[in-house]
A and B are shown apart, each in its own frame.
Chain A
Amino acid sequence: MPEYWIGDAEGRVLGPVSLDVVQDLVNTGRLTEITRVSRDGRNWGTPAGFPEVMALLLNAPSPDALLQTERQEAARVREQLRTMQGRPPHEIFRLDRNASVDAYRNAFFKLVKRFYPDRVRAQAHSDLRKAYADAFQFLSRLMVHIERELSTGNHVSPLPMMRAVPPPPPGEDEPLTPIPAPPPQTARPLTVVPRSMTPLPRPMTPLPRSSPLTPDPRRSLLEQTQPLRTSPLDSSFSYQAHEFVGFERRDDRVEVTIRVTARNSRMFTDHPLANLKTDGFFLACAKSLPLGTLVDVIFRFDEERREVRSRGRVILENTGGDPSRPTGFGVRFITLVEQDRRFMQQFVDKTAAH
């Protein structure tokens, strides 16, 4: 079988894989940037040097064709969801009636990730987005229901009191109305002007943990990463989308530029969860960013004539629901050069001494 190595713009390599795999990944949008190709993993060339790869890229579905396909897929998913509702769970997951909770979980994970919201491309048809969200929600609730039923020794019954998904009104699907597309492949710039940090906000206390079935979306991604357990029948997980982690949609990256001064340098020290010692910072500002957002941060230390660039992820946010806490968001660094970290610590120490 012919083998290929594929490189992307970030220097990452996939291979050896067959051309069929490359075709799958291009057609589903999983591979959008191919910057280099190799047949042996050592000698590389541009995609133009490989006509068979270029053909895949050139024959990738057009945006209009993708939207049509997505609308048809949305109709299929809605129909699938209507079929699932009311059916015994073991039939939905194609399991034996007496299947174990682990068997249910494994089948659930295989099925539900097909509908994971962020797997939908940013420019996807709105019908598909809605259909996936509904299917994901149904399956998440079903999995919690299964765990409860099994923990009480019952056979698993269909999920009660689920409203049937109504078919779309006639003509609702027409015309195609894709959501506005963000600029692909590039970070969205967002220049954040930090609010004055004086008077200083009271240190924030960790957000309370919510009940397992009503997850608090403000919980940090790392807080909600629970220790591994497999044996309990009722796991206390809600299986909602926010519990699924590790998937990065490249067009979700946001660029944040922050001018750092002595007055706002406490962004690195005052928050108990997001500070320089915990590899992060908390930015008090009117506009927050959603949990999990990948952030390219540029710190401008004008007085020191220095610029520090890093990448991080939003791990907590306060959108203003609690007036006793500053609104804003906390970021944990993913990449921060040690030399830059030392510089920032020295800056913080120096401003604190004054």
Chain B
Amino acid sequence: MSDGPILIVDDDAFVRTLLREMLSEQGHPLREAENGQEALDLEGPPPKVVLLDLLMPEMSGMEALALIRNRWPATPVLVISSMDSDRLVNEALAAGASGYITKPFHPMEIASAVERALAA
């Protein structure tokens, strides 16, 4: 498993804060980006998990997903989106997402998904 951070990519600062608060006490280093391009511009070790929104400015989450999978092939990407179309879920999973969590999310749900991603 990578020693890198958990990377939170969401344009909504409040959502980033919520996820940061939930994840902070697990001891994982955290990094944040406001959009896909900012995430890809980050330097340092590869993230161990990416939490990725889909609807974002600058670069959409689906585009970011493809580029993140290309840059960090071993890093699982969990999509977190308010878009709950089954077809969109399938398209995101087909594009390489390891999981799809619809907003609103519950702390226990995030915990479980991150643990599963880290264990995979």
CB distance from B25 to the nearest CB of A (A): 4
Cross-chain contact B111 with A13 (CB below 8 angstroms): no
What are 20 inter-chain pairs, A to B, with CB distance below 8 A? A5-B60, A8-B55, A13-B59, A13-B60, A14-B54, A14-B55, A14-B62, A15-B62, A17-B62, A106-B112, A113-B84, A119-B84, A226-B22, A227-B25, A230-B108, A244-B106, A245-B18, A245-B105, A246-B18, A334-B13
State the 3 A-B residue pairs at the shortest beta-carbon distance, nearest first.
Answer: A228-B111, A227-B25, A247-B104
Verify if B68 is at the interface (C-beta below 8 Å from A). no
Verify if A215 is at the interface (C-beta below 8 Å from B). no
Interface size class of A (residues with CB under 8 A): 35 or more
Q: Which of A16, A109, A313 contacts B106 (CB 8 A)?
A: A109
Q: With contacts A14-B83, A246-B15 known, is A118 near B104, CB below 8 A?
A: yes
**Chain A residue at smallest Cβ distance from B28:** A228
**Chain B residue at smallest Cβ distance from A5:** B60
Q: Which of B17, B25, B57, B82 contacts A11 (CB 8 A)?
A: B57
- CA–CA, A118 to B110, complex, Å? 20
B22 cross-chain contacts in A, Cβ below 8 A: 225-228
CB distance from A9 to the nearest CB of B (A): 11
Cross-chain contact A13 with B57 (CB below 8 angstroms): yes
- CA–CA, A328 to B59, complex, Å? 39
Within 8 A of B (CB), among A22-43: 24-25, 28, 30, 41
- CA–CA, A243 to B110, complex, Å? 12
CB distance from A24 to the nearest CB of B (A): 4
Cross-chain contact A105 with B108 (CB below 8 angstroms): yes
- CA–CA, A228 to B24, complex, Å? 8
- CA–CA, A51 to B22, complex, Å? 44
B83 cross-chain contacts in A, Cβ below 8 A: 14, 25, 30
B24 cross-chain contacts in A, Cβ below 8 A: 227
What per-residue 1/0 map shows which CB atoms of A242-270 lie under 8 Å from chain B? 01111110000000000000000000000
B23 cross-chain contacts in A, Cβ below 8 A: 228
Cross-chain contact A15 with B106 (CB below 8 angstroms): no
CB distance from A282 to the nearest CB of B (A): 18
